[in-house]
Amino acid sequence: MKIKTGNQGFLRRQNLAGIFQYLYEHAPVSRIELARLTGLNKATVTNLIGDLLENKFVREVGTTIDKRAGRREVLLAINPQRGCFLSAELGVGFISIICTNFAAEVIWKKRQLVENLEPEFLLAETLRLLKKARRIGEKKSGMLQAVAVGIPGLIDQKSGTVLFAPNLKWRNVEIRAVLQKHFETPIFIENEATFAALGEKNFGAAKGFNNLLYISAGVGIGGGLIINGQLYNGASGYASEFGHMTLDPAGSRCACGNLGCWETLASQAALFREIHEAISAGKSTLLKEILKCDAQKLSVQMIVEAAQKSDPVALEALRKIGTFLGVGIDSLIKVFNPEAVVFGGILSVAGEFLLPAIKEELKKRWLLENASDPRLLLADSGSEAAAMGGIAKILQTVLANPPI
């Protein structure tokens, strides 16, 4: 008989979540190996796996000889056909959609560029893409389990409302209310950089790190903080708005309204500004000819290509932005003492030039002279980090409370 109330029910859920987590990380794995990994006894593992098999969360995928036990053992894995997950990132100028199966394997994805940033337009387009992804996902992997949406702004998670997204120029947009009319599943709305931090921890460069600072530098600077393995949201859910830390009290006006925010000094816009100013000052650069034809054409990739050809203006602009990134990251390291700092977002395309400048700045400002270098890593998932983070959020929720 299953006991679902009181402490035993709580314990059972915890054990199930633990087994689920190990299945995601180590599959294919046998019951005996799961018992070793989780520290649970074999009978408990067999019992829980029985429930997971019965509810089709898990499937048998072959056998192995367990040398320690000296016998053949059945191997188990997450059943990818148990359902599908949808995740979207709404950015400044794009919508990115990922659909995965229950084993978090991507089965469909699309990145669509958009010029119109009005909430009505972006949400209608996102809905259209999510519905398309759902049709494909459900056909391949079974019923939709949950939807996640990442946005570059301050989110009220209780109501699923974007309170303020400076770079999209949105205020009080009730996203969950709009989506809930079309999806009956749970819907998670979160800051995109916070999702990206989760994505990097679960699927990317930060796998295995429990104290992690994620910095996403693009149109603005966002971030995410993982403390003791858990995402840190702060009292009201607005933590990690690193881009709006004041670094220059007399600096230029930020999209948020303040003066001298970090992102006015070290974002993509700041990098472009450096290039334009150098050209206006008459400095010689490979980028000059390209911009003469189309001033809007400048991209981070173009600046990287110029830097690779030793273009002095591109190199100097990247060094300057790297230095400002380093100044901000140094302060964050001093506050949070993370095991690793993961650098993502559009500017991570220029990682080969930015990371050395960031590291140099960190070394200059490091408190302990003999301390080892802070681990500074480039994000793995690139432009998909936030959408994969949404998948990680869904998984975390399913893992913590399997619907059995």
Q: Which residues sit at the interface with Zn ion, rule CB under 5 A? A: 244, 254, 256, 258, 261
Q: Is 47 exposed, middle or buried (0-12, 13-18, 19+ CB in 10 A)?
A: middle
Mode of pairing for the β-strands spanning 84-90 and 144-151: parallel
In angstroms, give the least distance from the CB of 264 to Zn ion: 7
In angstroms, give the least distance from the CB of 188 to Zn ion: 25
Q: State which residue, 59 or 244, has the beta carbon closest to Zn ion.
A: 244
Q: State which residue, 20 or 242, has the beta carbon closest to Zn ion.
A: 242
Q: State which residue, 236 or 301, has the beta carbon closest to Zn ion.
A: 236
Contact 387, 87 (CB under 8 A): yes
> Cβ of 258: how many Cβ atoms within 10 Å?
15
In angstroms, give the least distance from the CB of 244 to Zn ion: 4
In angstroms, give the least distance from the CB of 36 to Zn ion: 50
In angstroms, give the least distance from the CB of 250 to Zn ion: 14
Nearest to 200 by CA among 177, 233, 223: 223
Question: Where is 58: in which H helix or E strand?
Answer: strand 58-66
Q: State which residue, 254 or 347, has the beta carbon closest to Zn ion.
A: 254
In angstroms, give the least distance from the CB of 170 to Zn ion: 15
Q: State which residue, 256 or 286, has the beta carbon closest to Zn ion.
A: 256
Location of structure tokens 């679902």: 4
Q: Which residues contact 311 (CB under 8 A, 6 or more apart)?
A: 285, 286, 287
In angstroms, give the least distance from the CB of 295 to Zn ion: 25
How far apart are alpha carbons 158 and 177 in whole angstroms? Answer: 11
Query: What is the rounded (10 degree) CA torsion for 396, 398, 401, 404?
Result: -160
Length, in residues, of the chain: 404
Q: State which residue, 58 or 265, has the beta carbon closest to Zn ion.
A: 265
How far apart are alpha carbons 133 and 98 in whole angstroms? Answer: 8
CA atoms within 13 A on the CB side of 87: 28
In angstroms, give the least distance from the CB of 278 to Zn ion: 25
Location of structure tokens 């990682």: 351
Q: Which residues contact 49 (CB under 8 A, 6 or more apart)?
A: 19, 31, 34, 58, 76
In angstroms, give the least distance from the CB of 241 to Zn ion: 8
* Rg, Å, the chain Cα set: 23
Q: State which residue, 254 or 321, has the beta carbon closest to Zn ion.
A: 254
Single-letter residue type at 390: G
Q: State which residue, 58 or 271, has the beta carbon closest to Zn ion.
A: 271
In angstroms, give the least distance from the CB of 221 to Zn ion: 9
Q: State which residue, 247 or 302, has the beta carbon closest to Zn ion.
A: 247
Q: State which residue, 29 or 193, has the beta carbon closest to Zn ion.
A: 193
Q: Which residues contact 237 (CB under 8 A, 6 or more apart)?
A: 154, 155, 156, 157
